Structure 1
Amino acid sequence: MKKRNYPLWTELPYAGEKQPPRKAVEPDAGKWRTYFIQHDGYGGFKTLQGRPIKLDITDPNRIDWYQQLKQVQQSLASLTEKKITIARYWSAGPPTKQWTPIADRLIDTYSVEAPRAARILAALHAGINDAMVATWAVKFQYLVPRPNQLDPHLATVVCTPKHPSYVSGHSSVSGAAEVILGYFFPGEKNRLRQLAEEDAVSRLYAGVHYPADNQEGLKLGRQIGRIVISELKKDKTYLGQTDIPYRENRRAQLLPPPYEQAIPFDFDTSCDSLLLDLSPGKSNRNNYAPKPRLYNSRKS
């Protein structure tokens, strides 16, 4: 058994809280049903044809989490209004809240007929499901702590979710969505990549994820997206291949900007962990250099 180089998510409280997290968000979602990949019965995944899938992520024991923490602290110490806006926009609700309107705008811009629109949305959301299932399997396999667990004074822009840090769910979803939508709308690939990367980095701006969470989450999501595409390409009728990608670039006006939700909703943004006071006239900086919690790998 490999030695861990980090304390577990279940061992440390979030900054401002007294007890380690007790009620995790859907801890067995990594075992839920998938559509373009299969569970292998051993905690991993395989293709629909039964070939093993090696998830395209780095072993977290090869990542220096304390160096990652420094990058989170530095990011929070150099926040700008734009970064705060980006963090808040992408954190509102689950990741599908931002990506479904992007798909809808593409469907509208390219005048996609109803049967193909249904197929695009089905492929997108089934692929997102599979990316999230794989992400949750990874999260609860490794139990990497959040930044505000290694730094007991870390105040964040938004509430830190109650599930382990590695890998980022927002990043995984955005990677999968980028690839799947890019398959149907190849002319929009560059813009979709920009949106996926902004979604991912928004979690660093928010202070709730390390850079590695976001980078590896994007890789995982894109891997699942490619698997989805490989299955979609197999679908044919007597007229030929089912999918006919929209290859021209109509420069769809994809949100954001503006950084306003397509479907506004007043989400509860309160929590017990420490939040930055970003009200007018207040400093938006974490002006401290606290000592991080040290971890003795001999305990593992």
Structure 2
Amino acid sequence: MKTKYPRWSKTPYNGEEKPPRNPEEPLAGTWPLFFLKRDDHGWFSDLKGKPLPKVKNPNAIDWQAELKVVERTAKRLTREQERIAVYWGTGAVTKQWTPIIDRLIDTYTIFRVGIPPTSISSPRAARILAITQAAIQDALVVCWEVKYRYDVARPVQQNPNFVPLLCTPRHPSYISGHAIVSGAAAEVLSYFFPAEADRLQELALENGVSRLYAGVHFPIDISEGLRIGKAIGRAVIKEIRKEVNADGQPVDVPFTEDRNAQLPPPPYHQIIPFDFEDVCQSASKGVRVRDRLKEYMRSLKS
């Protein structure tokens, strides 16, 4: 494919002399799917054959204008934006959404007297977890197909002098995995917990924009990722909504009561902490950010 933009596989990262030779899961776009299928045109559809929306062709994107936004954002970062970037950028993309799912289940498991009781059972909790995580997996399969098909270079490659806040991942920029996952997860969870939909959409947007704050993604990576992620979420809902039990009743009974679940973040520390190794092959401002994060954690204790 002839491109009008620098290619990820052909361009060194800032701080490196050669193009990346250690791509992360380059075949993940070929993995099996749960709620989607591949069509005859090299794209994806729901299980009934309705195609997902197509991503914008990267040859039609002004990548220099996108890069200017990344550079301008990096120069004006606030400490709050740094905390947001570090929080959502820690660990795998599932790390922050799994506690959100768990907190929703906990909040709506508190027993309330009613007919039927308005409380989540263990089978229903397992179903919510399984469906949401399956939607996340499908979203990442679609994302990885797009990433390695178009092979768009990262900001740290398109400007060899740019130093991002966080370490740049070892896979192409377009589209954002965090954005597509958050779009899909927020849609599915809003189906199960409609009263929490506004907060879930806020979290999805924050998760997406955190990658701009981190300096590892362009704005278009995020907006397209969110758009496709939401479409994947809707495809999942379309499939599960029609499922019934042995009495012919819908399996899912969304929780319309608003229990105002306290969904993280804030606070901006990991709900499931882990001492990740601080390793980055390319240039980043990671040491300074870690110092500021420690400062923030100390302020919470004081």
TM-score by length of 2: 0.89
- Report 1:81-230 matches (<5 A): 81-111=79-109, 112-230=120-238
Residue in 2 aligned with 1:45?
44
Task: Provide the C-alpha distance between the structure 2 equivalents of 1:233 and 1:48, rounded to a whole number of angstroms.
Answer: 13
- Tell whether the 8 Å contact from 1:6 to 1:144 is kept in structure 2 after alignment: yes
Task: Provide the C-alpha distance between the structure 2 equivalents of 1:55 and 1:48, rounded to a whole number of angstroms.
Answer: 15
Does residue 71 in structure 1 map to residue 80 in structure 2? no
Offset at residue 239 of structure 1 (A)? 4.7
Unaligned runs of 5+ residues in structure 2 are 110-119, 293-302
Task: Provide the C-alpha distance between the structure 2 equivalents of 1:262 and 1:279, rounded to a whole number of angstroms.
Answer: 22
The amino acid of 2:167's aligned partner reads: C
Task: Provide the C-alpha distance between the structure 2 equivalents of 1:270 and 1:231, rounded to a whole number of angstroms.
Answer: 41
Task: Provide the C-alpha distance between the structure 2 equivalents of 1:72 and 1:31, rounded to a whole number of angstroms.
Answer: 31
- Tell whether the 8 Å contact from 1:157 to 1:275 is kept in structure 2 after alignment: yes
Offset at residue 272 of structure 1 (A)? 2.1
Q: How many residues align?
A: 280
Unaligned runs of 5+ residues in structure 1 are 284-300
Residue in 2 aligned with 1:61?
59
Task: Provide the C-alpha distance between the structure 1 equivalents of 2:79 and 2:278, rounded to a whole number of angstroms.
Answer: 18
Task: Provide the C-alpha distance between the structure 1 equivalents of 2:264 and 2:191, rounded to a whole number of angstroms.
Answer: 19
- Tell whether the 8 Å contact from 2:52 to 2:231 is kept in structure 1 after alignment: no
Aligned-pair Cα RMSD in Å: 1.7
- Tell whether the 8 Å contact from 2:176 to 2:221 is kept in structure 1 after alignment: yes
Mark the CA change 1:56 to 1:42 in structure 2 (over 3 Å): closer, same or farther. Answer: closer
Task: Provide the C-alpha distance between the structure 1 equivalents of 2:282 and 2:186, rounded to a whole number of angstroms.
Answer: 32
- The ranges of structure 1 where at least 4 consecutive aligned residues each deviate by more than 6 angstroms after the TM superposition are none
The amino acid of 2:154's aligned partner reads: R
Matched residue SS, 2:288: coil
Offset at residue 234 of structure 1 (A)? 1.3
Does residue 236 in structure 1 map to residue 244 in structure 2? yes
Query: Which whole-Å deviations, capped at 9, do the CAs of 1:176-233 have from their partners, x for residues lacking one?
Result: 0000000000000000000000000000000000000001000111110000000001
Of stretches 134-143 and 33-42 in structure 1, the one that deviates more from structure 2 is 33-42
- Tell whether the 8 Å contact from 1:56 to 1:219 is kept in structure 2 after alignment: no
Offset at residue 58 of structure 1 (A)? 1.3
